[in-house]
């Protein structure tokens, strides 16, 4: 039996003949709900934020991805890091491109080198710090999106040593708590 004959005799052909717009309607409805756009971002492009010493270049944000994911590149000097904290809303993936990062996820500490990846699910304490003498380039993804708003607020804080109470307040407003 050829393909056309199979479709006609299986009933799928009859359904598609009687209701041809049904599949198209569902497809366009899903597309409208996600409101994603295609986008190509070159290495030197993106919105650069200084988030308390973590120089982040935001490549994709929630408005680009239907609030599914946000992705940024961290360019961080040796010694800079993020203390242990827990996210209430988003999972994170860390991919080291250059340099070395000591990362702690759920009490397990390891050193990530270029090509290594760590996954920190929401609700699990994690932290990271650049170790060694080389600057780190790391791609970080968070999903769902939304945390980029917190980073934008943190980047607006005055230069100099951070006011940890203010940082904690901004983070808590976005479901991130230090432990």
- Reply yes or no on whether the pLDDT at 176 is more than 70: yes
Three-state DSSP state, 36: strand
pLDDT (0 to 100) of residue 160: 85
- Reply yes or no on whether the pLDDT at 30 is more than 50: no
CATH number of 47-178: 2.60.120.10
- Reply yes or no on whether the pLDDT at 14 is more than 50: no
pTM over 0.85: no
Alpha carbon distance 170, 28 (integer Å): 38
Q: Where are the domains of the chain?
A: 3-34, 47-178
Q: Which runs of consecutive H residues, i.e. helices, occur in 35-146?
A: 62-65
Alpha carbon distance 47, 90 (integer Å): 21
Sign of the four-CA dihedral 121, 87, 126, 97: positive
Alpha carbon distance 112, 130 (integer Å): 10
- The pLDDT tens digits for 148-167 are 999 999 999 998 888 999 99
Query: Which stretches does DSSP call E strand in the chain?
Result: 47-51, 54-60, 70-76, 81-87, 91-98, 100-105, 108-112, 117-120, 126-131, 136-143, 176-178
Contacts of 73 (CB under 8 A, 6+ apart): 46, 56, 57, 59, 97, 137, 138, 139, 140
């Amino acid at each position: 039996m050829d393909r056309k004959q199979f479709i006609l005799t299986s009933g799928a052909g009859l359904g598609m003949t009687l209701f041809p717009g049904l599949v198209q309607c569902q497809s366009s409805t899903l597309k409208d709900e996600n409101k994603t756009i295609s986008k190509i971002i070159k290495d030197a492009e993106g919105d650069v934020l200084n988030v308390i010493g973590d120089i982040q270049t935001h490549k994709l944000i929630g408005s680009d991805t239907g609030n599914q994911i946000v992705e940024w590149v961290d360019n961080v000097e040796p010694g800079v890091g993020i203390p242990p904290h827990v996210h209430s809303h988003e999972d994170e993936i860390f991919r080291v491109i250059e340099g070395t990062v000591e990362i702690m996820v759920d009490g397990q500490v390891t050193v990530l080198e270029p090509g290594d990846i760590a996954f920190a699910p929401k609700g699990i304490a994690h932290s990271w710090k650049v170790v060694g003498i080389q600057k780190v380039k790391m791609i970080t993804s968070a999903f769902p999106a939304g945390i980029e708003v917190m980073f934008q607020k943190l980047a607006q804080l005055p230069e100099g040593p951070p006011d940890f109470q203010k940082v904690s307040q901004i983070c808590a407003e976005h479901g991130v708590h230090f432990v």
